[in-house]
């Protein structure tokens, strides 16, 4: 699990750094740094209050659901834009690209947090 957490610390810090030029970096930089901190604490084998995970699940889960149903969200991207490529260029030239990327970022966060949460719960 140590390698997993080190990998995701680096990934989440990199994702946070990419948000510097985003239209809403004040929102997305902390979103990506939160799971990076949780992964760091797992590497250092610090006891993490389960409420830290549950708060993350609640906030990021609700936001992911919002991104799923939002105008220009995932459902619109699939239904009206035939799930066109969201990775063709780094610049999000159309709104559904930005919304879809943000949704998948939240899914990555929720996945990494879930693995850590259930792994640490199993060890306890």
Domain that holds residue 35: 2-123
Q: Give the DSSP per-residue string, 24-70.
A: -HHHHHHHHHHHHHHHHHHHTT----HHHHHHHHHHHHHHHHHHHHS
pLDDT at site 48: 87
CB of 119 closer than 8 Å to CB of 1: yes
Angle at CA of residue 71, ends 18 and 33, nearest 5°: 25
pTM for the full model? 0.87
Q: How confident is the model at residue 107 (pLDDT cuts 50, 70, 90)?
A: very high
Q: What confidence tens digit (pLDDT) does each residue in 24-80 have?
A: 899 999 999 999 999 999 999 888 889 999 999 999 999 999 998 888 777 777 777
Residue 13: CB atoms within 10 Å: 15
pLDDT at site 70: 85
State how far the Cα of 31 lies from the Cα of 106, in Å rounded to an integer: 9
Number of folded domains that form the chain = 1
Higher pLDDT, residue 23 or 104:
104
pLDDT at site 72: 77
Asked whether the predicted pLDDT for residue 81 surpasses 90, the reply is no
């Amino acid at each position: 699990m140590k390698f997993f957490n080190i990998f995701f610390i680096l990934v989440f810090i990199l994702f946070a750094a990419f948000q510097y030029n985003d239209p809403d970096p004040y929102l997305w930089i902390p979103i990506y740094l939160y799971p990076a901190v949780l992964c760091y604490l797992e590497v250092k084998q610090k006891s993490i209050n389960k409420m830290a995970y549950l708060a993350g699940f609640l906030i990021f889960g609700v936001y992911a659901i919002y991104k799923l149903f939002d105008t220009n969200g995932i459902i619109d991207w699939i239904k009206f834009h035939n799930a066109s490529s969201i990775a063709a260029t780094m610049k999000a030239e159309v709104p559904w690209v930005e919304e879809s990327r943000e949704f998948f970022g939240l899914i990555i966060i929720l996945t990494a947090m879930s693995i850590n949460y259930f792994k640490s719960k199993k060890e306890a």
